[in-house]
Copies of this chain bind each other. A is one copy, B any other.
Amino acid sequence: MQISPRILKGFRDSLPDQELIRRDAFFKLEKTFRSHGLVPVDTPALEYTEVLLGKGGGETDKQVYSFKDNGNREVALRFDLTVPFARFMAMHVNKVGLPFKRYHMAKVWRGENTQKGRFREFYQCDFDIVGLDNASADFEILMIIFDALQQLGIDRFTIRISHRGLFNEFLERLGIVSLSVEILRTVDKLSKIGRENTFEQLCNITSRDKAEKILSFISCGDAASDGTIPDTEEILSRLTSLVGFKSDHLSRIEDIFGYMRDSGVSGKLILDPSITRGLDYYTGIVYETFLDQLPGIGSICSGGRYNNLASLYSKEQLPGVGASIGLDRLLAAMEDPQLMNNHQETVPGSWADVIILCMSESYTGFYAKTAAEFRAAGFKAEIYHTQKKMAQQFKYAEKRSIPFAVIAGANEIEKGHINIKNLTNFEEIQDITIFEAIRFMRNGVI
């Protein structure tokens, strides 16, 4: 009895063309993280529901895949990598030591409404520095974002940074810090709903006068009516007068911009007080990253500083700073050829570098030897295993974007020689050694 092969709504298979691109991106990100001294960790996909959601559970609950396992335990699939990391640090802080710098790229699951084009299984890519609270650690995370995106071949992007603590000091001055959660949630929607709707909504939370002051805070980095954009110094001085004193948080921002200048790091970092992030737990710098050519897709890498990662599980205070790359959004954007810089190598869509075609299956030993020599030279070498018509073998290679083919029959094999064909321009060089073929693949001549 046959079963209809199908997958769950909101879930996806990843076919080779897509998976090759994704794994290439993972590889480049991992290389960047490691180059900054970050180390990988892994946590279970399944955890106690209570550990993931806390005693009560909130709005997230309905989205979480939770159930009773065969041992009658309440368990759930992780819905992000932050909560498991908090639990991890509460358990292992003494083993991993502080400061601890880690990355984690793994799947998470949420029973989201798929009509919004959302998926129920997707990757998250998080990196954090835990156990430090200073401008140097803040700056490190920003450098990693710069490096990671440049590694992926993306040159034109801007990190917009602000400071949650500063915003809270400002609300305190206005005497409305108790309303900060609602205010933050409203301000976070600014780019979506526009200035006027934001103002309306703020007026529902606080007085018209204070709503105006909030608007002037978050827009003090905006261009003037004559188009002039204020520089960092100018914004900092405006923020100082709005907050009413030279706050430590302002010095923190100054230090970060100073390090940026001293390091000569290339990349655009802009002070933008409209960045506040909706989430409750940020206490220091917050940032979002936008593609200069595709601002409309929103932030592709966001994060900030928090003062207590593991408060749910431990009395130990664990301050940290981190970011999360929106990998699915970024990979979708990377399909836009305009976005990619010129240094970008060929899209990794080729399934192999060279294919050894099959004149006769009895030559398999020779073909295997040939393939092994190409591999030793660093090439991906595939063998076509059956004696099909040449046209069919070429078609197979073409469909998989394999750029070179080796053809060797009795005459060549007797001498230990091969023929090699460039499948892009159909140039063929006959009766050469494997060493000459490798030179041909590398340099175009033998």
7 closest Cβ contacts across the A-B interface?
A262-B365, A37-B382, A67-B67, A263-B368, A16-B39, A14-B42, A37-B352
Q: With A51-B6, A70-B62, A97-B396 as given contacts, are A11 and B44 in contact (CB-CB < 8 Å)?
A: yes
A59 beta carbon closer than 8 Å to chain B? no
Our pick among B99, B262, B383 for the contact of A385 (Cβ within 8 Å) is: B99
A5 interface neighbour in B314, B355, B380, Cβ under 8 Å: B314
Interface residues of A in 42-77 (CB under 8 A from B): 42-48, 50-51, 54-55, 62, 65, 67-71, 73, 75, 77
Contact of A430 with B by CB under 8 A: no
A260 to B90, Cβ gap below 8 A? no
Among the stretches A134-142, A167-175, A333-341, the one at the interface with B is: A134-142
- Which of these, B70, B134, B383, contacts A136 with CB under 8 Å? B383
Q: Contacts A13-B88, A45-B121, A139-B368 given; 13 further ones with Cβ under 8 A?
A: A5-B51, A5-B313, A7-B44, A7-B87, A14-B40, A15-B95, A19-B41, A35-B381, A46-B109, A65-B69, A67-B67, A135-B361, A262-B365
How far, in angstroms, from A263 to B371 measured CA to CA in the complex? 10
6 A-B pairs in the complex with CB atoms less than 8 angstroms apart: A2-B313, A5-B313, A37-B382, A69-B111, A101-B382, A134-B385
**Interface residue? A277 (CB, 8 A):** no
Please judge, given known A-B contacts A140-B383, A368-B259, whether A16 and B46 are in contact too, CB under 8 Å. Answer: no
Q: Are B2 and A314 in contact (CB under 8 A)?
A: yes
Residue A241 at the chain B interface, CB threshold 8 Å: no
In angstroms, Cα B425 to Cα A220, docked, is 55
- What's the nearest-Cβ distance from chain B to residue A437, in Å? 16
Q: Indicate if A358 sits at the interface (CB-CB under 8 A).
A: yes
Within the complex, the shortest CB–CB distance from A176 to chain B, in Å, comes to 28
Closest-by-CB residue of B relative to A402 is: B37
**B residues within 8 A CB of A44?**
7-8, 11-13, 121
Whole-angstrom distance between the Cβ of A404 and the nearest chain B Cβ: 12
CB of A423 to closest CB in B, whole Å: 14
CB–CB B364/A13 < 8 A: no
Query: A23 to B41, alpha carbons, bound, how many Å?
Result: 10
- Whether a CB of chain B sits under 8 angstroms from the CB of A279 is no
**Residues B41 and A15 in contact, CB atoms below 8 Å apart:** yes
List the B side residues contacting A205 at CB < 8 Å. none
CB distance from A97 to the nearest CB of B (A): 6
Q: How far is the CA of A137 from the CA of B368 in the complex (A)?
A: 11
Contacts of A140 in B (CB 8 A): 368, 383, 385
